[in-house]
Amino acid sequence: MRGIIRTGLDHLSLVRKDNSEHDFSFSQVERLTNKLNQTPQRITAETVAEAAKVSRAAVSRAFNPDAPLKPEKRASILRIAEELGYVPDRAARALVTRRTHLVGVIVPDVCSPWESQEIDALTTALQAEGFATLLFKTRTDFSMDETLLAYMRGFNPDSVIAFTENVRPHVLTRYLDRAVPIYINYLMDEEPADGLRAREPEALYDRIDVDQWEGMEQAVALLAGYGCRRIAYLSGKRDSLAEQARRRTLAALMARRGLPPPTIIPGDFSYDAGHAGTLDLFRVGEGADAIFAANDESAFGALDALRYELKRRVPEDVKVVGFDDISQSHWRSYNLTTVKVDLEARIRALVRLILRRLKDPAAPALSETVRTRLVVRGTVG
């Protein structure tokens, strides 16, 4: 570890007023500097072993709960280690155990509310299990290229979670050819044409299924109940799998109720695209009774376009439904009716699967299903 940068905002007179505390910090820095210049003597297991009059192996065992060691000896070692401020070096440990306790997370855009919620929940969960989140950014076009994969591989994460899509097959191939254990998780979200919830025929890998049928069905039922017939679908990014699944599900649900197929508004999950697309639909296109957006953020854009530019009342003239239920959706200006994915459950399942697979790479594949449900707020009804 090399440095702490404190980016909190401070202010000079505050520093002066609380003299003792801050002088303290200064002297610490100086002490540190001195220390740095003289002896960079590191505290290692050897140091602890000498202090505790045991072997280095015993120290190692003291920190690995499963290793055999007489309880009182372990306690004694841990106490001394605590006093000395010893912490096992993860780099050295990783070198021999082949476990870094790092989980690589790939996202196109940390700022997106939905993604930031996922990162937040995931980080919390991983932290509780002794892991840490290693964050990587792709381009925002959802592509995950070979360069990034190789770059990340250098950090040896124990597992990789890609909140992005379109891993090109040849990239994956190269990756797998490295003798890297990989399991891929496809989510299945649509009730297929035959009316049965389909399951993968073979369970080759761990998987989390998000059952988006349920929540979307509730939404369509509600809209239909209000007499909406012309429901437009505000798309997400074309190449996103989430987008495709949601679009198909909506089409299937509407067909089932004898409604005309949805008008497709092109979009990319962003506020601006939702705004522009909605303007187009009503100015150039044929309008709609309701807009079903691929995510909440673009629903906000649609909502603002309807209210401010197009002077329509929501929900009286046009109804709007989103997808995700991000925290902004309950804000008074939007108060969006939306399909909520149980994020907590999803992340819990994710972490559970990771840990299980890490513990036993040969365990049989498992799949878990996460539900969705409609949250009714002000933009419908």
Partner DNA sequence: CGCCAAATTGAAAACGTGTTCACTTTTCGG
Partner DNA sequence: CCGAAAAGTGAACACGTTTTCAATTTGGCG
Write out the binding residues for DNA, residues 70-109 only, by CB under 7 A: 70-71, 73, 86, 88-89, 92-93, 95-97
Number of residues that bind DNA (CB under 7 A): 28
Is 92 a binder of its own copies (CB under 8 A)?
yes
Report how far residue 368's alpha carbon sits from residue 249's, in angstroms, rounded to the nearest whole number.
20
Report how far residue 351's alpha carbon sits from residue 126's, in angstroms, rounded to the nearest whole number.
7
Pairing of strands 367-375, 207-211: parallel
Is residue 254 classed as helix, strand or coil in its secondary structure? helix
Determine which residue in the list 10, 30, 46, 200 makes contact with DNA, applying CB under 7 A: 46
318-347: contacts with its own copies (CB under 8 A): 327-328, 331-334
274-293: contacts with its own copies (CB under 8 A): 275
Per DSSP, what are the bridge partners of residue 104?
Answer: 134, 160
Residue 10 in tokens: 């401070």
Minimum distance from CB of 225 to its own copies (Å)?
26
Residue 115 in tokens: 């993604």
Determine which residue in the list 14, 29, 67, 221 makes contact with DNA, applying CB under 7 A: 67
Pairing of strands 207-211, 159-162: unpaired
Q: What are phi and psi of 58, to 5 degrees?
A: -60, -40
Q: What are phi and psi of 124, to 5 degrees?
A: -60, -50
Is 296 a binder of its own copies (CB under 8 A)?
no
Is 223 a binder of DNA (CB under 7 A)?
no
Single-letter code of the amino acid located at 200: E
Closest CA to 113 of 373, 295, 336: 295
Q: Which does 181 bind (CB under 5 to 8 A by kind): DNA, its own copies, none?
A: its own copies
Report how far residue 239's alpha carbon sits from residue 331's, in angstroms, rounded to the nearest whole number.
30
Minimum distance from CB of 286 to its own copies (Å)?
23
Residues 137-176, one symbol each (x = binds its own copies by CB under 8 A, - = not), give: x------------xxxxxxxxxxxxxxxxxx-x--xxxxx
Minimum distance from CB of 284 to its own copies (Å)?
20
Q: Which does 77 bind (CB under 5 to 8 A by kind): its own copies, DNA, none?
A: none
Residues that bind DNA (CB under 7 A): 42, 44-46, 54-61, 63-64, 67-71, 73, 86, 88-89, 92-93, 95-97
